[in-house]
Amino acid sequence: MFARIALSVMALSIVPLVNARLAWADDAQKAAAASQKDGKYLDADGNPTFKIQPDGTVDWYTFSGYRRYHSDCHVCHGPDGVGSSYAPALADSLKSMDYGTFISTVAEGRKNVSGGQESVMPAFGDNKNVYCYIDDLYVYLRARAVGDLPRGRPAKHEDKPQAAKDYENQCMGG
Ligand code: HEC
C-alpha cells in the first residue's frame, strides 16, 4: 500500500519536470473540483482549485485570493488580473502556467532586461502576507483564467473553514 502511494507520488513529481518547457494548458475541465477537504477544493491531479456554485457562490480560498491579490499584486498586475502596461495579465498567464511554476515564480520573482527596458517581478518568498495565502492567490487567478469568475469582488462566498483559520494562525505566527 505505502509502496504504491510512494510510486504514484514519484510519478506525479517527475511528469512536471519532463514537461516543464512543453506547452502546458489549463482549462475548465482540468480545473474541475474532484475532491474537497475542509472547504479546500482539489482537481483530479491533487492541485488546489476553485469551486463556483451555479448561484455564483465561490469557495473561501477563491474569495480570500481575491482580497490578497488586490492588496499585494494589483498595483502592478492590474485589477482582477487583467494586466497593466507594466506587468502581464495573470488571468491570461495562468491559462498556460501550472501550479508549481506559479509558486516558484512568486517565491523567487523574475527580472526581464530584454529590449533595454527592465521589468521586475519582486520575490515574495519571505513575505508572509503573500506566501501564507499562496494557494488562495493561485485558485483565485485560476478561476479568473479558466473558470467563469467575473471581474470584481465575488458577491457570495463559503464561510471561512476552521482549517483556513488554523493554517493562517500557524503560518502568520510561526
Ligand atoms: C512591483 C510590481 C509587481 C508586483 C507587486 C507583483 N508583480 Fe508579478 N510580475 C511583475 C512583472 C514586471 C512581471 C513580468 C516579469 C518578466 O517580464 O519576466 C511579473 C510576472 C509575474 C508572473 C509570471 C507571469 C507570466 O506570464 O510569466 C506571475 C505568476 C506573477 N508575476 C505573480 C504575481 C503575484 C501573485 C503577485 C502578488 C503577490 C505579483 N506578481 C506582484 C511585477 C509585479
* Alpha carbon of 91 to ligand 1 centroid (Å): 12
Cell of 14: 517527475
Q: Residue 58 pairs with which residues in a beta bridge?
A: 52, 157
Which of the listed residues 64, 67, 72, 77 should we mutate to test ligand 1's pocket, taking the one with most ligand atoms within 8 A of CB?
77
- What are the extents of the domains in the chain? 24-173
Per-residue confidence band for 10, with pLDDT thresholds at 50, 70 and 90: very low
Output Rg (C-alpha) for the chain, integer angstroms: 17
**What's residue 161's pLDDT?**
98
Ligand 1 atom nearest to CA at 141: 35
- Percent of all residues in the chain with a pLDDT value above 70, rounded to a whole number: 87
* Alpha carbon of 109 to ligand 1 centroid (Å): 7
Which of the listed residues 121, 138, 140 should we mutate to test ligand 1's pocket, taking the one with most ligand atoms within 8 A of CB?
121
* Alpha carbon of 3 to ligand 1 centroid (Å): 39
Nearest to 94 by CA among 69, 67, 72, 113: 69
Q: Residue 52 pairs with which residues in a beta bridge?
A: 58
**What's residue 41's pLDDT?**
98
- Percent of all residues in the chain with a pLDDT value above 90, rounded to a whole number: 80
Superfamily of domain 24-173: Cytochrome c-like domain (1.10.760.10)
**What's residue 4's pLDDT?**
55
- Count CB-CB contacts under 10 A for residue 124: 19
Distance from chain centroid for Cα 2: 29
Minimal-distance CA residue to ligand 1 atom 42: 121
Determine the average pLDDT of the residues in 64-72.
Answer: 98
Integer Cα distance of 98 and 16 in angstroms:
9
What does pLDDT average to over the chain? 90
What tens digit of pLDDT does each residue of 97-155 get?
A: 999 999 999 999 998 877 777 889 999 999 999 999 999 999 999 999 999 999 999 99
**What's residue 174's pLDDT?**
66
